[in-house]
Structure 1
């Protein structure tokens, strides 16, 4: 294993241990929902500043065949593990502003260390931008924690559901592409297919997530019709993207994977929708 990989894996393992500690300490499964919600928020932020604006680049050396997909793994380590775990820790354990500032300082120190070790680099980004962003991100975790303490409906229900479903939709869309090279998107936005693919995958998963939420909230007597329409829509969208020369499928199972995935994600959306509507499960004794 490469020197770079140990740093990223170590950070990821520490983040998972922190999340486990929070869950044991609070004995509340709603904190897992909060964690996923913060992952969803982080994914949206990264879609803008990383996927399209190429603010920075990671070098975890976990994917050898494509440096940009390898960078994506670093982004996932940061935004699907480290920052959401710390945010969950802050909100669930009701940490004050003093602790928040200390943790922001710690993260700034980690970022500085990664820069000095040459396992991470800035394009136009600055450590100060990270610190300023976390001054918003961490307090939002407290807001979401409070919202998840009560049954939700209307816009807030849809917003939280979108943030929760998004990480599943986004991760299961892009990860097979990065590791198995089952497809790529070609739009001519960037110099390399992997950059085009990463950017368009973000648009795809965000749009798909909005659709899952919309159809999940339809009150139809024939519930099976939702699954039929969802799978049919995803199938047709993929075919249209192929006809337009945007999507290039490289393996026989590619199209069917995303059709089946859409059904699973709709099922997950309905599951989380019910949880949000009913309020958090009771704490375990």
Structure 2
């Protein structure tokens, strides 16, 4: 059980820092930047972790599936500690000294987790983390400048997609990890957990694009987008079940994802408006 203590330490420290940021800045742009960095991190993690098998985490919090447990460990890193520090660096406009310092700090944590055997590399190396994190932190500063000003064109759509993806992915995958409400079996990997998470990542990436597009379409009758979103989600689930890809295991599963699609339309519309008018 000692494994979990280290991951909870990341959770607690990240939560304290994020609460500090909210109290100091008291603006919605801080939240938007945090979600942007989560969404960006998810895309990177989908590529190197889910599909390329870069490393594994061992928080020992989920006992019924080892890959789900590893996925939760990745969540502590990519949805909490890294985006929170990136948000800290960007919102306080910290210089290169702090970028190098926090990059070294996370390399040190990674090295410690390796020594504690609660994390292991496959083809990944500490050097990749050391080289990648400064880029990640610099991008946070770039995104923050975009968020502070009214955004249009590519900047607007890119940030809207990343923010939508951060919410969509978390709300889609976390219930699967804890409640086993569904799993996917496209047959890409032998490990059922990895197979399920890999497909759910593709699902959320496509769903996020759908939410962004449907919000941007001008509707004479606004409630039609909600009907189309819920109906489309329900039909996609039925098709995936029909082809033996989706296995829905609890009575509330499909209802949850239909309601989630409606909620995301509301949230994406709010975020879209705030990106256009940040003040």
Query: TM-score under structure 1 normalisation?
Result: 0.96
Which 10-residue stretch deviates more, 248-257 or 238-247?
248-257
Distance, in Å, in 1 between the alignment partners of 2:247 and 2:26 is 46
2:211 is equivalent to residue 212 of structure 1: yes
**CA distance in 2 between partners of 1:25 and 1:225 (Å):** 40
Report Cα offsets for 1:73-113 as digits up to 9, x if no partner. Answer: 11000000000011011111111111111111111000000
- The residue that corresponds to 2:154 in the other structure is 155
What corresponds to 1:69 in structure 2? 68
1:233 maps to which residue? Answer: 232
Cα distance in 1 between the residues matched to 2:84 and 2:198? 25
Q: Comparing 248-257 with 219-228, which one deviates more in the overlay?
A: 248-257
CA–CA distance in structure 1, aligned partners of residues 275 and 26 of structure 2: 18
Cα deviation, residue 22, structure 1: 2.1
Aligned to 1:249: 248
**Cα distance in 2 between the residues matched to 1:27 and 1:265:** 24
Structure 1 Cα separation of the partners of residues 80 and 234 of structure 2: 31
- RMSD, aligned α-carbons: 0.9
Question: How far apart are 1:25 and its partner, in Å?
Answer: 2.6
In structure 1, the gaps of 5 or more residues are none
Could you list the runs of 4 or more consecutive aligned residues of structure 1 that deviate by over 6 angstroms after TM superposition?
none
SS in 2 for 1:57: strand
Distance of 2:92 and 2:215 partners within structure 1 = 33
| Residue pair 1:22, 1:93 contacting (<8 A) in 2 also | no
Cα distance in 1, alignment partners of residues 119 and 52 from structure 2: 16
Higher mean C-alpha deviation, range 222-231 or range 253-262: 253-262
Aligned-residue offset at 1:226: 0.3
Instruction: With the length of structure 2 as denominator, give the TM-score of the two structures.
Output: 0.98
SS in 2 for 1:148: helix
Question: C-alpha separation between the residues in 2 aligned to 1:26 and 1:175?
Answer: 29
Task: For 1:230 and 1:254, locate their aligned partners in 2 and report how far apart those are by CA, in whole Å.
Answer: 16
Q: CA deviation at 1:229?
A: 0.6
**How far, CA to CA, are the matches of 2:224 and 2:27 in structure 1?**
35
Secondary structure at 2:148 match in 1: coil
Alignment match, 2:193: 194
Q: How many residues align?
A: 279
On the 8 A contact 1:182/1:251 being kept in 2, the answer is yes
Secondary structure class of the residue paired with 1:252: coil
